[in-house]
Amino acid sequence: MMKQALAMTALLFSLAAPVAAKDVVDVADLVERQGPAVVNISTTKLVKRGAEGFPFQVPDDEEMQEFFRRFFPGGPGGPMQEIPARGAGSGFIVSSDGYILTNAHVVRGADEVVVKLIDKRKFIAKVVGADARTDVAVIKITASNLPAVRLGDPARLRVGEAVAAIGSPFGFENSVTAGIVSAKGRSLPSESYVPYIQTDVPINPGNSGGPLFNMRGEVVGINSQIYSRSGGYQGVSFAIPIDVAMEVVDQLKQGGKVSRGWLGVVIQEVTSDLAESFGLDRPRGALVSQVQEDSPAAKAGLQASDVILAFNGRLVENSGDLPRMVGMAKPGAKIPLQVWRRGKTQELQVVLGELPGEEQLAGKGGKTYSRGGLALSELTPDQRRELKIDHGLLVEEVTGDAARAGIRVGDVILAVNNGKVATVEAFRKAIAAVPKGKSAAILVRRGEGSLYVPLKISGE
């Protein structure tokens, strides 16, 4: 009996072994083969320091001004000093001629970017382009015959599948960590355009921009964020799917920026109660709570209370699916929409516009504003009557500082530091008066209630 059991066990292993060997590699083999294509990135940014931090007012007397110039060169009347601020991250080579992927936040604002290879060679890199919305950047070094990673298909990833990361946590270069895929298609409050891969791979400061590998030795993601109360790894990390990143890369290499489709709606999740009230069979789709004037959505005939069920033939299961679908579509594309309206489905056609870039949002003559990560619009008379308020600004987009503060799309900003704001220009002036690193008290109308949100201005 024992011999028969052992024989059966051996047979099972002999049948299973070829399947496992075909797709899965050992982590040590993975590191040996793909590790040389992973790079360490160090950045330097010159930060001006001087008079703005001086603790008291200096008299206008010329002799006193000369005194402070001589004995307090960093103070009022003295020259501003440039202090180097250094940063670090990771990246990986995607082509043998020197193109490297990393996170946008790793190279943001850098005056110098240095790439170090595993063989200790160093190169000064040029930033080809960066996209803050997906946190993807492309940099280039002048070199040839470089080792490059193999790219995989994130769609083939399964929850529970083993994955590994290589990077430079806390500056410890070429460190390897491993774990499993915890979830797919995660939406984060700070980003609407990325369906993140969630893992339990240990990721820490310095890992940002490094590759996430499957066990076939293929890059499936770019390690980008962690969820942490301490600032360090606590079991939840997020990676940008490599297919999403490569779509951004292609545009950055061609023109240095990314063009995205724009629909022009404010949406919210369809809850069970809302689905029942609208006569839907189950919670699905994206509920339109507002249609912006003169937007592609308005021209297509979309209405508030419509539920968008499908975009260009793809089902919209959750409201977070729609911004990704729209953002990845080309401006000018004619897209079919399936919407649920008054108990039945309707088919609409929309010609997408182009989503304004962040630099455009900051200069739209009072219509939108982006410092602190907010895009705002002034309330129309109909909106003010509906909300029963006489002032306020509608939050249309949230990134950066505002996302970290917890401000949401659809909120109405009523006041900044107890000063009412009725125009974007008034908001701009109020926020401009907030020093970098300090917080403004933002009074927000959310639903039927109001709350104060501390918005800390980082200067990003």
CATH of the domain at 441: 2.30.42.60
Cα–Cα distance for residue pair 430/413, rounded to 1 Å: 12
Count how many Cα atoms sit within 13 Å of the Cα of residue 182 in the half-sphere of its side chain.
Answer: 14
Residue 407 lies in a domain: yes
Identify whether the C-beta of residue 141 lies closer than 8 Å to the C-beta of residue 167. no
What is the DSSP annotation of 26-39? -HHHHHHHHGGGEE
Residue 269 lies in a domain: yes
Q: Which two tokens stand for residue 211?
A: 């590759």
Domain match, 275 and 327 both: yes
Q: Which two tokens stand for residue 416?
A: 């900044």
- Backbone phi, psi, residue 9, to 5°: -60, -45
Cα–Cα distance for residue pair 343/353, rounded to 1 Å: 29
Report the range of poorest mean pLDDT among 119-133, 148-162, 185-199, 328-342.
Answer: 185-199
Cα–Cα distance for residue pair 418/452, rounded to 1 Å: 10
Domain match, 249 and 272 both: no
Domain match, 372 and 318 both: no
3-state secondary structure of 116: strand
Pairing between β-strand 150-151 and β-strand 218-226 as defined by DSSP bridges? parallel
Domain match, 308 and 400 both: no
Residue 29 lies in a domain: no
Pairing between β-strand 38-49 and β-strand 112-116 as defined by DSSP bridges? antiparallel
| CATH label of the domain that carries residue 282 | 2.30.42.10
Domain match, 182 and 126 both: no
Domain match, 226 and 265 both: no
Could you say which of 209, 233, 255 is where a domain stops? 255
pLDDT reported for residue 190: 58
Domain match, 328 and 285 both: yes
User: What residues does 39 pair with on adjacent strands?
Assistant: 91
In the chain, the number of structural domains is 4
**Residue range(s) defining the domain that contains residue 367:** 361-456
Indicate the average pLDDT of the chain. Answer: 82
Domain match, 106 and 174 both: no
Residue 242 lies in a domain: yes
The reply to whether the predicted model has a pTM over 0.85 is no
Could you say which of 255, 284, 300 is where a domain stops? 255
Could you say which of 354, 375, 402 is where a domain stops? 354
Average pLDDT of 260-288? 89
Question: Exposure of 446 by Cβ count < 10 A (0-12 exposed, 13-18 middle, 19+ buried)?
Answer: middle
pLDDT reported for residue 459: 55
Average pLDDT of 334-346? 94
Residue 24 lies in a domain: no
pLDDT reported for residue 400: 74
Question: What is the torsional sign of CA 235, 241, 246, 247?
Answer: negative
Domain match, 42 and 135 both: yes
| CATH label of the domain that carries residue 73 | 2.40.10.10
146 confidence band (pLDDT: 50, 70, 90): very high
- Backbone phi, psi, residue 422, to 5°: -115, -15
Q: Which two tokens stand for residue 20?
A: 């496992």
Domain match, 170 and 129 both: no
Average pLDDT of 223-252? 87
Give Cα separations from 423 to 83, 403, 455 (angstroms): 37, 21, 18
Catalytic residues: 105, 135, 208
Residue 31 lies in a domain: no
pLDDT digits (tens, 9 = 90+) for 427-438: 888 888 888 778
Of 136, 323, 330, nearest to 221 (Cα)? Answer: 136
211 pLDDT higher than 70: yes
Residue 243 lies in a domain: yes
Identify whether the C-beta of residue 31 lies closer than 8 Å to the C-beta of residue 176. yes
**Which amino acid type is present at position 307?**
V
75 confidence band (pLDDT: 50, 70, 90): low
Domain match, 281 and 325 both: yes
Residue 23 lies in a domain: no
